[in-house]
Amino acid sequence: MSYDALRRPLRPLARIIRAREQGENPDDIARENLRLRHEKMQKKARDRAESRLLVLGLAFVIAFGTIGARMGILANTDPEEPRAVASGNPIIGQRSDIVDRNGRILATNFDTHSLYAHPDDLIDPANAARELARIFPELEAEKLYADFTGSRKFLWVRRQISPEQMQAVHDIGDPGLLFGPREMRLYPNGPIAAHILGGASYGNEGVSSAEVIGVAGVERHFDEVLRDPANEGRPLALSLDLTVQAALEEVLAGGMTLMNAKGAAAIIMDIDTGEVMAMASLPDFDPNNRPRVLTEGDQSDSPLFNRALQGVYELGSVFKIFTVAQAMDLGLVNPDTMIDTTGPLRVGGFPIRDFRNYGPELSVTDVIVKSSNIGTGRIAMMIGADRQRDFLDSLGLLEPTPIEMTEGRTGQPLLPGNWRELSTITISYGHGISVSPLHLAAAYSSLLNGTRVTPTLLRQQGPVEQGPRIVSAPVADRARDMLAQVVSRGTASFARIEGYTIGGKTGTADKPREAGGGYYDDKVIATFAGMFPAEEPEYVIVVTLDEPVETSGPEPRRTAGWTAVPVAAEMVRRTAPLLGLRPQVELGSLDGVTLTGSRD
Amino acid sequence: MTEMVYGTAPVASGDPVLPRWWRTIDKWSMTCIFLLFGIGLMLGLAASPPLAARNGLEPFHYVIRQSIFGGAAIVAMLITSMMSPILVRRLAVLGFGIALASLALLPFFGTDFGKGATRWYSLGFASVQPSEFLKPGFVVAAAWFMAAGQEIGGPPGKTYSFVLTILIVALLALQPDFGQAALILFAWGVMYFVAGAPMTLLVTLAAGVVLAGTFAYNNSEHFARRIDGFLSADVDPTTQLGYATNAIREGGFFGVGVGEGQVKWSLPDAHTDFIIAVAAEEYGLICVLVIILLYATIVVRSLFRLIRERDTFIRLAGTGLACAFGVQAMINMGVAVRLLPAKGMTLPFVSYGGSSLIAGGITVGMLLAFTRSRPQGEIADVLGRGRGR
């Protein structure tokens, strides 16, 4: 309006004056102009409205069309049944199997059914609740009845039921009780390799399927791989050997009972590839029926606790071989160098003693064979704190193991806050540093191999890439020879068995008090770390017993030589044939024996 | 005040009312409305017996009530459509005043029928929802303001109408009834658009919405999840929406058959907000498409008839009424197919509900009155000059 007004005044003076002169009413002119302006404006508004109404009409056609199309799409799809959790992710049914290195099944899927209810469709809720409580004793009829008569439209009754239970529910005959197919995770071997497999439970659940997700162990670590449809259900092959694992667990359980230990762990590892052939922790559990996580108290008391991996302990004298090997590699000593073992060795007012007095001096070999703390401490003083720490780091003892289990990360070694001379000496014989048995197994593999070995739970195909060098090959060989002598004439003499040669080192460490402030006198961690066959090691074995007491003698004996070593020896005797190692047997006389197929 | 409105068609006195009505009325739209009413009764036969059973009434209680209210609605529609636009405007503004007053008094005298929102006056035998009657009145009043604003020397009508809109939206939001509030806002927006909203404002608004939406989607996980959940095909089947979606799926193209539907037993609002789900289940996609087609015909035909309209007030009021009517139907159906977030909104003329039916009748009656063919020539200009000011 304003610009129009500016352009042409309603009462143009010239016209007004002319009109006045002609005796006309000037208001007519103003009115005429006003009308013209109004008309012009109306026309403009109408033109604009015309195009905008067209746009509007088109928008409505499109919008109604969209709704119609959407109706068409919806009408063309199948109806859905209720689900407990509405989620955007489709549920993938098939979870890959887990097998051992020879393809034997460790974890697989099993078709089962879930039981759910549509309370609105129940004909006789009271009867249904009563009957269900009869079939499933863990359910309460009152609670079920309350759910059935409440406002709920859907509820799960049982997540998985057996065929017998399914038939019994069928026989109730209420149309409001429905079954949904689903798969459950089945561990056919029960508790064997329980800690490694972990367990599984349900994630997103629907009535037509349910998502199985791993909750611990490799099931959790490889959850995405196992669920990945791109794998087309190809099984996940672990490095474990089921037979070795079973034998190891059996021997370990027997040993734990015999030695009155409260817990035990054992590992057999391939020395070249780092493949874990068997690994067990006792007490264990059945992954088919995973116990609940402890909500109070010490998690390490739970059967879920994996001592081989999560348990970090001061493992004691088994560390001595690292000190000696490093000293030999640095050229500080050779196996025959005599070391001063007069005790006690005083460092910072702290006396270090040996289990027994071994005389004024011992050769380096004998320091290992007799397990002299003083001797090892003196060697460590030659090495120094920095080099010792670097060496242990190169063995992977300062970091959590990279093992393919979620629990692996929790196996964080405990290191001294201030790595000074005293720490250097105590660490040289395995005190003041806490690592897991798996750390130890990997470190022994690395040391005896000469190159860094990474522990793994996956079956390795073909030769494994060599890690960085730890010690030179001759040093590794000398270390191996010393470990063999520990068995043949030292603290691990119980490891002499028929058919196989074993080498290894014992370690008996007093358990630190939980409250802090020193160590228990009567609680030890007894460890044997070794390898077999001793001449050409193929496997490393670590056996750890928690608070063992051997009571066959007049006095209770707790040292590893009396507790862990016999268990380890039996373990090798049982598992070495399964691992394909030939026993070296001296054949007796063949008199009276006719060899079939032989030609004289 | 009538001076503000120009160009209403002259009425030659003596012309008989009914023949002229029949000659000038939009017969297609009227037919569509009758068909919708018929469909509503037919669906009511299916959808309301479960509700009647729940409330302990005889099965067709709600159907009978619907036919009574529907009959009243049709009478209201016919009478309104016979009125001249000026009469419509006067009555509508009067009605708007009453409806606004009753809306404002709702918090004091209204009831919520236990549904959590105070939207109704209980009259004993029936209940009245003032917001339903407010809508057509508001559209006419706002159109009147805007049209007046376009006159030379007229009041700032757009501003007045905007203030009025905000007031009503606030009142509705207090109930709370965000669906009706959105509808009022939308009707005003459409009228403002047709009345000549500046293009820069429209572009800025559109860009702002797109930008804000993108920003929110990228930066707010909550918002993104809402949108994703809304876009995804999955829906929790134990909700009203889930039942409605399943009903549409069950129905397929030709439906499960008359009376065979299940959804009406599960949905408390089967006879009102989710009547389209009942239609889809029992009569299939065919029925739904027919309903959509009927609404689309009414709206699009009305808009196209208004394109030729000279009179600003009629153009704006007609546009507002047609769009409010169409969008209400669209929101109702859009919710059922999950194109829109859930909002309780009736399907005009089809859903059960006395207020909704009669208000719907008045709305389309006004719309029909505004879209009647009338001379669009210079006569109005002549008249306009004759008035003098």
Q: Residue A278: its pLDDT value, please?
A: 92
- Cβ of B236 within 8 Å of Cβ of A64? The answer is no
Residue A540 has pLDDT above 90, yes or no: yes
Distance CA B25, CA B81 (A): 8
* Range name among A205-214, A331-340, B143-152 with the lowest pLDDT average: A205-214
B383 domain residue, yes or no: no
Percentage of chain A exceeding pLDDT 90 = 14
Q: Residue A528: its pLDDT value, please?
A: 93
Mean pLDDT across A110-117:
86
Distance CA A84, CA B237 (A): 9
Q: Return the higher-pLDDT residue of B250 and B320.
A: B320
**Tokens 């309104």 belong to residue:** B80
Task: Identify the band that residue A252 occupies on the pLDDT scale cut at 50, 70 and 90.
Answer: very high
Query: Best mutation site among A60, A73, A151 for testing chain B: the one with the most B CBs within 10 Å?
Result: A60
Q: Residue A88: its pLDDT value, please?
A: 41
Q: For B38-72, write each residue's pLDDT tens digit.
A: 998 888 888 888 878 777 788 888 888 888 988 99
Q: Residue A226: its pLDDT value, please?
A: 83
Which of 107-136 (B) contact A at CB < 8 A?
none
Taking contacts as CB-CB distances below 8 angstroms, the residues of chain B near A211 are: none
B388 domain residue, yes or no: no
Q: Residue B94: its pLDDT value, please?
A: 92
* Range name among A2-6, A285-289, A595-599 with the lowest pLDDT average: A2-6
The mean pLDDT of chain A is 84
Which of 160-189 (B) contact A at CB < 8 A?
none
Coil, helix or strand at residue B100: helix
**Cβ distance A129 to A145 under 8 Å?**
yes
* Range name among A254-258, A394-398, A556-560, B267-271 with the lowest pLDDT average: B267-271
Q: Residue A491: its pLDDT value, please?
A: 85
- Cβ of B152 within 8 Å of Cβ of A34? The answer is yes
Burial class of residue A408 in the structure, from the number of CB atoms within 10 Å of its CB (0-12 exposed, 13-18 middle, 19+ buried) = buried
B6 domain residue, yes or no: no
Q: Residue B388: its pLDDT value, please?
A: 37
Spell out the residues 6+ positions from residue B119 whose beta carbon is closer than 8 angstroms to its own.
Answer: B106, B110, B112, B129, B131, B175, B177
Query: Can you spell out the DSSP letters for A289-356?
Result: GPPPPPSSS-GGGSTT--TTTT--B--GGGGHHHHHHHHHHTTS--TT-EEE--SPEEETTEEE--SS
| ipTM, interface predicted TM-score of the complex | 0.86
B55 domain residue, yes or no: yes
CA distances to A116, A263, A544, B140, B373 from A470, rounded to whole Å, are: 60, 32, 25, 91, 99
Taking contacts as CB-CB distances below 8 angstroms, the residues of chain B near A52 are: 193-194, 196
B381 domain residue, yes or no: no
**Tokens 């029928």 belong to residue:** B113
Q: Residue A84: its pLDDT value, please?
A: 42
Task: Identify the band that residue B237 occupies on the pLDDT scale cut at 50, 70 and 90.
Answer: low
| Two structure tokens written together for A520 | 């228990």
- Cβ of B334 within 8 Å of Cβ of A67? The answer is yes
Residue B364 has pLDDT above 80, yes or no: yes
Number of neighbours of residue B225 by Cβ within 10 angstroms: 11
Q: Residue A85: its pLDDT value, please?
A: 41
Residue A89 has pLDDT above 60, yes or no: no
Which conformational region is residue A502 in: left (phi greater than 0), alpha (psi within -120 to 50 degrees), or beta? beta
**Cβ distance A507 to A317 under 8 Å?**
yes
Instruction: Give the closest of B195, B233, B280 to A75, CB-based.
Output: B280
Query: Best mutation site among A53, A77, A155, A156 for testing chain B: the one with the most B CBs within 10 Å?
Result: A53
Residue A544 has pLDDT above 90, yes or no: yes
Which of 3-62 (B) contact A at CB < 8 A?
6-7
Residue A155 has pLDDT above 90, yes or no: no
Q: Residue B379: its pLDDT value, please?
A: 52
Give the residue from chain A lying closest to B154, CA to CA: A1
Instruction: Give the closest of B195, B253, B299 to A75, CB-based.
Output: B253
Give the residue from chain B lying closest to A74, CA to CA: B249
Task: Identify the band that residue A421 occupies on the pLDDT scale cut at 50, 70 and 90.
Answer: confident
DSSP label of B6? -
| Two structure tokens written together for A361 | 């001096």
Burial A243-277, CB ≥16 within 10 A → b, else e: bbbbbbbebbbebbebbebebbbbbbbbbbbbbbb
Query: Best mutation site among A34, A42, A207 for testing chain B: the one with the most B CBs within 10 Å?
Result: A42
Residue B381 has pLDDT above 50, yes or no: no
B382 domain residue, yes or no: no
| Two structure tokens written together for B209 | 């919405």
Q: Return the higher-pLDDT residue of A343 and A467.
A: A467
Taking contacts as CB-CB distances below 8 angstroms, the residues of chain B near A34 are: 152, 389
**Cβ distance B73 to B361 under 8 Å?**
yes
- Cβ of B334 within 8 Å of Cβ of A37? The answer is no
Distance CA B295, CA B290 (A): 9
Mean pLDDT across B202-231:
75
Q: Residue B258: its pLDDT value, please?
A: 80
State which of A215-219, A339-343, B94-98 shows the largest mean pLDDT.
Answer: B94-98
Taking contacts as CB-CB distances below 8 angstroms, the residues of chain A near B293 are: 64
- Cβ of B339 within 8 Å of Cβ of A70? The answer is yes
Q: Residue B296: its pLDDT value, please?
A: 93
Q: Residue B236: its pLDDT value, please?
A: 60
Q: For B273-286, write each residue's pLDDT tens digit.
A: 788 888 888 888 89
Q: For A365-379, write each residue's pLDDT tens digit.
A: 888 888 888 888 889
Q: For A178-207, write each residue's pLDDT tens digit.
A: 888 888 888 998 889 888 888 888 877 777
B237 domain residue, yes or no: yes
Q: Return the higher-pLDDT residue of A217 and A592.
A: A217
Q: For A130-154, write each residue's pLDDT tens digit.
A: 888 888 888 888 888 888 887 777 8
Q: Residue B299: its pLDDT value, please?
A: 92
Q: Max CA-CA distance within chain B?
A: 68
Query: Best mutation site among B192, B267, B288 for testing chain A: the one with the most A CBs within 10 Å?
Result: B288
- Cβ of A71 within 8 Å of Cβ of B304? The answer is no
Mean pLDDT across A468-483:
89
- Cβ of A83 within 8 Å of Cβ of B236? The answer is yes
Task: Identify the band that residue B238 occupies on the pLDDT scale cut at 50, 70 and 90.
Answer: low
Mean pLDDT across A92-104:
81
Nearest to B42 by CA among B25, B63, B23: B63
Percentage of chain B exceeding pLDDT 70 = 84
Torsion of CA A298, A302, A304, A309, to 10 degrees: 50
Query: Best mutation site among B150, B226, B264, B335 for testing chain A: the one with the most A CBs within 10 Å?
Result: B150
Measured at the CA of A223, the angle between CA A97 and CA B218, to 5 degrees, comes to 145
- Domain span at residue B135 reads 14-375
Give the residue from chain A lying closest to B339, CA to CA: A67
Which of 236-275 (B) contact A at CB < 8 A?
236-238, 242, 245-246, 248-253, 265-266
Residue B385 has pLDDT above 50, yes or no: no
Spell out the residues 6+ positions from residue A547 whose beta carbon is closer than 8 angstroms to its own.
Answer: A260, A261, A262, A263, A511, A523, A524, A525
Residue B378 has pLDDT above 60, yes or no: no
Chain A within 8 Å of B143 (Cβ-Cβ)?
Answer: no
Q: Residue A75: its pLDDT value, please?
A: 83
Task: Identify the band that residue B6 occupies on the pLDDT scale cut at 50, 70 and 90.
Answer: low
Nearest to A240 by CA among A296, A186, A278, A200: A278
Q: Residue A570: its pLDDT value, please?
A: 92
Residue A7 has pLDDT above 80, yes or no: no
Taking contacts as CB-CB distances below 8 angstroms, the residues of chain A near B300 are: 57, 60-61
Give the residue from chain A lying closest to B316, CA to CA: A49
Taking contacts as CB-CB distances below 8 angstroms, the residues of chain A near B194 are: 49, 52-53, 56
Query: Best mutation site among A56, A62, A147, A205 for testing chain B: the one with the most B CBs within 10 Å?
Result: A56
Phi, psi of B107 (to 5 degrees): -60, -20
Q: Residue B389: its pLDDT value, please?
A: 36
Give the residue from chain B lying closest to A2, CA to CA: B152
CA distance A419 to chain B (A): 47
Taking contacts as CB-CB distances below 8 angstroms, the residues of chain A near B370 are: none
Query: Best mutation site among A10, A25, A64, A121 for testing chain B: the one with the most B CBs within 10 Å?
Result: A64
CB contacts < 8 A, A to B, total: 147
- Cβ of A79 within 8 Å of Cβ of B6? The answer is no
CA distance B68 to chain A (A): 30
Residue A392 has pLDDT above 80, yes or no: yes
For the whole prediction, is pTM greater than 0.80? no
Q: Residue B79: its pLDDT value, please?
A: 92
B5 domain residue, yes or no: no
- Domains in chain B, number: 1
CA distances to A147, A176, A225 from A119, rounded to whole Å, are: 8, 6, 38
Distance CA B97, CA A506 (A): 98
**Tokens 């694992």 belong to residue:** A245
Residue B178 has pLDDT above 80, yes or no: no
Residue A335 has pLDDT above 60, yes or no: yes
Are β-strands A263-270 and A539-546 bridged in parallel, bridged antiparallel, or unpaired?
A: antiparallel
Number of neighbours of residue A164 by Cβ within 10 angstroms: 9
Mean pLDDT across B316-324:
92
- Cβ of B280 within 8 Å of Cβ of A71? The answer is yes
Distance CA B359, CA B130 (A): 9
Task: Identify the band that residue B366 occupies on the pLDDT scale cut at 50, 70 and 90.
Answer: very high
State which of B119-128, B136-145, B247-256 shows the largest mean pLDDT.
Answer: B136-145
Taking contacts as CB-CB distances below 8 angstroms, the residues of chain A near B333 are: 67, 71
- Cβ of A153 within 8 Å of Cβ of B249? The answer is no
Task: Identify the band that residue A568 occupies on the pLDDT scale cut at 50, 70 and 90.
Answer: very high
Which of 270-309 (B) contact A at CB < 8 A?
280, 284-285, 288-289, 292-293, 295-296, 299-300, 303-304, 306-307
List the beta strands (DSSP E) in A459-535: 503-512, 519-532
